[in-house]
């Protein structure tokens, strides 16, 4: 009997160690997201959809899967936070809601002026500001667009030439990607 209890105890401990415990139930989902396994990440986040962090993960994952409307709905249902604001700024821009994109970008800048998304190195404050500058351009607010470009690149010399602004935005886009 003692041998059976020892075997069961060792087996239970081995199972706990091999499963990694319950430290972070979303770790596997974020790992899949980082490796661009968006279908796998979606399934993992969806399995934990009762957690606000999983909803944020679903928002980012569906954005990467080009399900922009679904992504917007997920972002809208999550409490505010830096990752939510960054994602929502980008999704709003993708939906053509430029005013909302600017609002979310401004809120992010106020909350975290050095923002960087932990799970995707391409998403940071400069990326969000670029979406903001494009939004300002599309809304024909060229003065604000110039100011935002200057935040991205301090050596920028302001211009009222629409073609010059667009060329600069396109150049910055290429530089950030």
Q: What residue spans define the domains of the chain?
A: 24-79, 80-177
State the pLDDT at residue 84.
95
Determine the Cα–Cα distance for residues 115 and 124; give it in Å rounded to an integer: 5
Question: Rounded to whole angstroms, how far apart are CA atoms 139 and 108?
Answer: 20
Assess contact for 136 and 176: CB atoms under 8 A: no
Give the pLDDT score at 1.
42
Rounded to an integer, the average pLDDT of 83-101 is 97
Asked if residue 3 has pLDDT above 70, the reply is: no
pLDDT higher than threshold 90 for residue 134: yes
**Average pLDDT of the residues of the chain:** 89
Q: What CA–CA distance (Å, rounded) separates 101 from 66?
A: 17
* CA angle, residues 175, 80, 99, in degrees to nearest 5: 55
Contact 56, 87 (CB under 8 A): yes
pLDDT tens-digit readout, 23-61: 899 999 999 999 999 999 999 999 999 999 999 999 999
Three-class SS of residue 115?
coil
Q: What mean pLDDT comes out for the span 12-19?
A: 39
Non-local CB neighbours of 172 within 8 Å, separated by 6+ positions: 130, 133, 149, 152, 153
How far is 71 from 123, CA to CA, in rounded Å? 16
- The reported pLDDT for the residue numbered 176 is 79
Report pTM: 0.84
For residue 19, give the 3-state DSSP assignment.
Answer: helix
pLDDT band at 22 (very low <50, low <70, confident <90, very high): low
In the predicted model, what is the mean pLDDT of residues 128-146? 98
Q: 80-177 belongs to which CATH class? A: mainly alpha
- Start-to-end CA span in the chain (Å): 63
Query: Which residues 6+ apart lie within 8 Å of 174 measured at CB?
Result: none
What are the structure tokens assigned to 22, written together? 């319950």
């Amino acid at each position: 009997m003692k041998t059976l209890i020892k075997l069961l105890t060792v087996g239970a401990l081995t199972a706990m160690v091999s499963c990694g415990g319950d430290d972070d139930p979303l770790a596997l989902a974020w790992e899949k997201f980082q490796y661009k396994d968006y279908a796998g990440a979606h399934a993992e986040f969806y399995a934990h959809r009762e957690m606000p962090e999983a909803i944020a993960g679903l928002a980012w994952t569906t954005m990467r899967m080009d399900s922009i409307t679904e992504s917007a709905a997920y972002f809208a249902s999550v409490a505010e936070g830096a990752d939510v604001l960054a994602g929502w700024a980008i999704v709003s821009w993708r939906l053509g809601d430029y005013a909302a994109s600017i609002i979310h970008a401004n809120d992010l800048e106020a909350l975290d002026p050095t923002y960087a998304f932990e799970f995707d190195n391409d998403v940071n404050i400069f990326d969000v500001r670029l979406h903001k500058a494009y939004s300002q351009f599309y809304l024909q607010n060229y003065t604000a667009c110039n100011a935002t470009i200057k935040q991205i690149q301090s050596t920028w010399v302001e211009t009222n030439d629409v073609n010059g602004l667009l060329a600069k935005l396109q150049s910055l886009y290429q530089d950030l990607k």
